[in-house]
């Protein structure tokens, strides 16, 4: 192993008698719902038009899932379609799942994280430049005022030597801080010497803290796939070893879905992507001398570089 150089009316009401009995995912079973909420969220019903809390509601903030509190829509995507239900022309990346409706005509939308029924999506109506209308039941959502929205989010990427990954990602506008460290192994608080031995199972990785109002997880993930070679399994450039495996450690289902979608896009473009998609586990900060390595050294990475892929 070489040593070290070593990331609308087209909407129709469904009556109670016509509701499907398909339940949502098990993540929702501990949430206490009113009968009205169960009718919509669990049994895919529809609240009466013009009756929802958020139909004629225009405060700035985010709309989150009533069941699991995953972010769904930003207020900037909301518009008045005159249909009687809240309308959005875009979703937060990876937050909403689309699937054919049981009626055989419409497209149902659900929370990607827990499967809660949201409503339906329509295209081609010309309401906005995006030509899309998410017609959502107010009862499926909770509004979070802008002042209450967290100003930061985190993401974890592994793509070879963490020095190079850190060097390129920290240049992105909206990235607030980056820490190099270790993740995915079976030893607590590993040292760099242990990592290099290959005996702990850890990946060299970076944890990125970013401002989601300035850069999205999807933008960061795209950059991650462009600053390392996602077709290389356990090496980048001349670096060899299991600690150099390519992986995205997702913090939530939205990050997972975005990553998997980007990988599929790359595969369709001819890249034999080997990047793993794994749930985030304990992240251990690396020794101080690994942090901001190239900034302190005054040089640039030799095992990473930028290649446009999206």
pLDDT tens, 94-133? Answer: 789 999 999 999 999 999 888 999 999 999 999 999 999 9
Residue of 286, 260, 279, 246 lying closest to 158 (CA atoms): 246
Structural domain containing residue 275 = 153-297
User: Is there a domain that residue 30 lies in?
Assistant: yes
Residues 193 and 210 in one domain: yes
Per-range mean pLDDT, top range of 7-11, 30-34, 263-267? 263-267
**Does the annotation count 196 as an active-site position?**
no
Could you count the other beta carbons within 10 Å of the beta carbon of residue 284?
Answer: 19
- 169, 252: one domain: yes
pLDDT at 127: 96
What is the reported pLDDT for 237? 87
**Dihedral sign computed on CA atoms, order 171, 172, 176, 182:** negative
Q: Is residue 303 part of a domain?
A: no
Is residue 303 flagged as an active site residue?
A: no
Instruction: Indicate if 89 and 202 belong to the same structural domain.
Output: no
Among the options 19, 161, 196, 303, which is catalytic? 161
* Rg, C-alpha atoms of the chain: 22
Within a domain: 185 = yes
Share of the chain above pLDDT 90, in %: 75
Residues 263 and 164 in one domain: yes
Backbone angles phi, psi at 139, to 5 degrees: -65, -15
pLDDT for res 211: 87
Return the pLDDT at 284: 96
Q: Clarify whether residues 159 and 276 are in a common domain.
A: yes
The one catalytic residue in 111, 114, 135, 303 is 135
Task: Quote the pLDDT of residue 152.
Answer: 85
What SS3 state is found at 186? Answer: coil
Tell me if 239 is assigned to some domain. Answer: yes
The CATH number for 262's domain is 3.30.1060.10
Considering its fold, how many domains does the chain have in total? 2
**pTM value surpassing 0.75:** no
pLDDT digits (tens, 9 = 90+) for 142-172: 999 987 766 789 999 999 999 999 999 999 9
Q: Which residues of 53-63 are buried (b: 16+ CB within 10 A; e: fewer)?
A: ebbeeeeebbb
């Amino acid at each position: 192993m070489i040593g070290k150089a070593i990331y609308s009316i087209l909407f129709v009401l469904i009556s109670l008698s016509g509701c499907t009995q398909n339940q949502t995912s098990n993540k929702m079973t501990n949430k206490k719902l009113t009968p009205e909420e169960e009718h919509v969220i669990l049994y895919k019903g529809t609240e009466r038009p013009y009756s929802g809390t958020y139909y004629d509601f225009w405060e700035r903030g985010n709309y989150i899932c009533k069941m699991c509190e995953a972010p769904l829509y930003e207020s900037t995507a909301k518009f008045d379609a005159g249909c009687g239900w809240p309308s959005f022309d875009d979703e937060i990346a990876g937050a909403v799942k689309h699937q054919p409706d049981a009626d055989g005509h419409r497209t149902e939308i659900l929370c990607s994280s827990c499967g809660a029924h949201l409503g339906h999506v329509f295209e081609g109506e010309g309401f906005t430049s995006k030509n899309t209308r998410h017609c959502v039941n107010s009862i499926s959502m909770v509004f979070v005022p802008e002042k209450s929205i967290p100003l930061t989010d985190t993401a974890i990427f592994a793509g070879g030597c963490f020095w190079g990954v850190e060097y390129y990602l920290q240049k992105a506008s909206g990235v607030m801080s980056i820490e190099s460290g270790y993740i995915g192994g079976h030893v607590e608080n590993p040292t760099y010497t242990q990592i290099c031995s290959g005996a702990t199972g850890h990946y060299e990785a970076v944890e990125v803290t970013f401002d989601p109002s300035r850069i999205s997880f999807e933008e960061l993930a795209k950059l991650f796939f462009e600053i390392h070679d996602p077709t290389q399994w356990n090496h980048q450039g001349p670096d060899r070893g299991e600690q150099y495996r390519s992986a995205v450690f997702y913090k939530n289902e939205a990050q997972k879905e975005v990553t998997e979608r980007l990988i599929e896009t790359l595969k369709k473009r001819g890249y034999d992507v080997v990047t793993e998609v794994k749930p985030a586990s304990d992240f251990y900060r690396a020794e101080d001398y690994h942090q901001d390595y190239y900034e302190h050294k005054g040089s640039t990475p030799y095992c990473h570089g930028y290649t446009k892929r999206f």
